[in-house]
């Protein structure tokens, strides 16, 4: 636990200071109150500050994938959870992961469930990981869940690698093209402005040229404003999405985003169906299964819709009907869930739905990745074409008028 340096005043008025160990600042204040002293200030000690800063660091997904897979193998081999965590903590060389595993092991040794200990490290373990681990603990299939998390994490990294690989060349072109374009607008385009003065006075200057000259003027005289506005705007947007309400708005935006929204929805629903089907297959009651599986979507909009559907299920309705009413699930998924309920085979149907949606989504992702490069190239070509036309149109119009 972290150490806190305090300054307090005793009942006699004497000022005292020192260091105490507590889980958080509130517990430190309670400890000082129990001692009969009035706290004046309570701050993290230097070592604790370094510890807290280290906790905020992230762990590479590659190492997390190894951790999940190795922990699953150890549990499958019959090694107890506490011993498995101790072995993995001892062999890791990553400072942050080693520190996190040490804390997780200590809390598990105190009787805390694994999912709850992982929840205390949100920069390392995602909500999806925590909810799936909780599902594995509830259904006594933790090793299978951890292996599935490892496979999912590896798949996500492969997808990121494919996207970054596809984006590398067009991103390079965008960066270089943007720099060249800005330099042209600041130093090259203004040299054409005297040639267009007469056409501007006559009102015959093309709108594209007018817009280009306006952008060039703004960059020359107010370009420094962008250096201030862009970081401020980035910080403002980041702050807006840092709380629960902001993250919900972002999740809703992702679902509505053209092209991307369908992929995000399919992946979220596939995760929900797989976790729910696995829980039901392992004998977890449907209401508890829904409560756990809703967090596996990784999307607050879908989680809220599933939670509302769970309330209707608790009143005796089937699962398919309230899921259809929330209008977040595709019709074919609803129909398959309905058939599964009627045939009393819902857990197998849900896993089948998950596999089908994952295959379909993977094909969509491959298509999106292939289209990224030509799309970026087309955008850059369009910008360059606009600049050329804006500069050449007045010249073409002048030559036509003379002839």
State how many domains the chain has: 3
More confident of the two residues 44 and 6: 6
> Do 92 and 12 share a structural domain?
no
Is 167 contained in some domain? no
Is 162 contained in some domain? no
Is 163 contained in some domain? no
> Do 294 and 378 share a structural domain?
yes
Task: Bin 283: left if φ > 0, else alpha if -120 < ψ < 50, else beta.
Answer: left
Contacts 24+ apart (CB under 8 A), 162-167: 162/369, 163/369, 163/372, 166/369, 166/370, 166/372, 166/373, 167/372, 167/373, 167/376
CATH number at residue 95: 1.20.81.30
The dihedrals phi and psi of 138, each to the nearest 5 degrees, come to -65, -40
Q: pLDDT digit string (tens) for 315-357?
A: 777 888 888 888 888 898 899 989 888 888 888 898 898 888 8
Structure tokens at 102: 């040490």
> Do 127 and 222 share a structural domain?
no
> Do 260 and 304 share a structural domain?
yes
Is 179 contained in some domain? no
The residue out of 136, 155, 174 marking a domain boundary is: 155
In the DSSP assignment, the letter for residue 36 is: T
| The model's pTM | 0.63
Q: pLDDT digit string (tens) for 146-173?
A: 988 888 788 778 767 776 776 777 778 7
Q: What pLDDT, on the 0 to 100 scale, is given for residue 47? A: 44
The residue out of 137, 155, 173 marking a domain boundary is: 155
Question: Computed over its alpha carbons, how large is the radius of gyration of the chain?
Answer: 29
> Do 81 and 35 share a structural domain?
no
> Do 88 and 216 share a structural domain?
no
Structure tokens at 6: 């305090």
> Do 307 and 216 share a structural domain?
yes
Is 342 contained in some domain? yes
> Do 33 and 149 share a structural domain?
no
> Do 244 and 146 share a structural domain?
no
Is 210 contained in some domain? yes
DSSP alpha helices (H): ranges in 184-299? 197-202, 207-240, 244-256, 260-281, 286-293
What residue numbers bound the domain in which 15 lies? 3-55
Is residue 333 within 8 Å of 265, Cβ to Cβ?
A: no
CA distances from 99 to 49, 57, 59 (A): 14, 11, 11
* Mean per-residue pLDDT over the chain, rounded: 81
Q: pLDDT digit string (tens) for 167-195?
A: 777 778 778 888 888 888 888 888 877 77
Q: Is the pLDDT of residue 119 over 90?
A: no
> Do 74 and 142 share a structural domain?
yes
Is 143 contained in some domain? yes
pLDDT band at 44, cuts 50/70/90? low
- In this prediction, residues 28-50 reach a mean pLDDT of 70
Q: Exposed, middle or buried: residue 15 (CB in 10 Å: 0-12, 13-18, 19+)?
A: exposed
- In this prediction, residues 374-380 reach a mean pLDDT of 82
> Do 368 and 243 share a structural domain?
yes
Q: pLDDT digit string (tens) for 262-279?
A: 888 888 888 888 888 877
> Do 104 and 39 share a structural domain?
no
pLDDT band at 83, cuts 50/70/90? very high
């Amino acid at each position: 636990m972290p150490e806190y340096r305090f300054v307090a005043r005793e009942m006699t008025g004497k000022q005292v200071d020192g260091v105490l160990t507590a889980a958080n600042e509130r517990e430190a204040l309670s400890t000082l109150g129990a001692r009969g002293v009035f706290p004046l200030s309570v701050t993290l000690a230097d070592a604790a500050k370094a510890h807290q800063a280290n906790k905020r660091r992230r762990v590479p997904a590659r190492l997390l994938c190894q951790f999940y897979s190795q922990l699953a193998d150890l549990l499958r081999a019959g090694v107890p959870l506490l011993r498995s965590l101790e072995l993995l903590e001892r062999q890791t060389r990553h400072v942050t992961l080693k520190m996190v595993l040490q804390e997780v092991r200590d809390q598990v040794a105190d009787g805390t469930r694994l999912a709850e200990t992982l929840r205390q490290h949100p920069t390392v373990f995602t909500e999806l990981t925590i909810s799936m681990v909780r599902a594995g603990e509830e259904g006594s299939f933790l090793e299978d869940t951890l292996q599935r998390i490892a496979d999912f994490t590896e798949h996500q990294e492969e997808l990121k690698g494919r996207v970054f690989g596809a984006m590398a060349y067009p991103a390079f072109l965008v960066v270089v093209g943007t720099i060249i374009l800005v330099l042209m607008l600041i130093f090259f385009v203004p040299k054409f402005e005297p040639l267009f003065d007469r056409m501007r006075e006559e009102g015959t200057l093309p709108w594209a040229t007018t817009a280009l000259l306006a952008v060039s003027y703004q960059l020359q005289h107010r370009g420094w404003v962008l250096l201030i506005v862009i970081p401020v705007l980035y910080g403002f947007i980041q702050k807006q999405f840092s709380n629960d309400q902001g993250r919900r708005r972002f999740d809703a935006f992702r679902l509505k985003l053209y092209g991307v929204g369908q992929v995000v929805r399919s992946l979220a629903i596939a995760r929900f169906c797989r976790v729910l089907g696995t829980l039901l297959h392992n004998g977890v009651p449907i209401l508890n299964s829904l409560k756990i599986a809703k967090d596996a979507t990784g999307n607050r909009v879908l989680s809220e819709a599933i939670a509302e559907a769970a309330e209707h299920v608790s009143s005796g309705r089937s699962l398919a009907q309230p899921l259809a009413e929330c209008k977040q699930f595709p019709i074919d998924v609803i129909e398959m869930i309905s058939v599964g309920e009627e045939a009393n085979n819902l857990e197998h149907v849900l896993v089948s739905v998950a596999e089908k949606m994952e295959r379909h989504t993977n094909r969509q992702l491959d298509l999106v990745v292939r289209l990224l490069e030509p799309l970026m190239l087309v955008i850059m070509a369009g910008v360059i074409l606009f600049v050329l036309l804006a500069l050449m149109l007045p010249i073409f119009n002048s030559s036509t008028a003379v002839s």
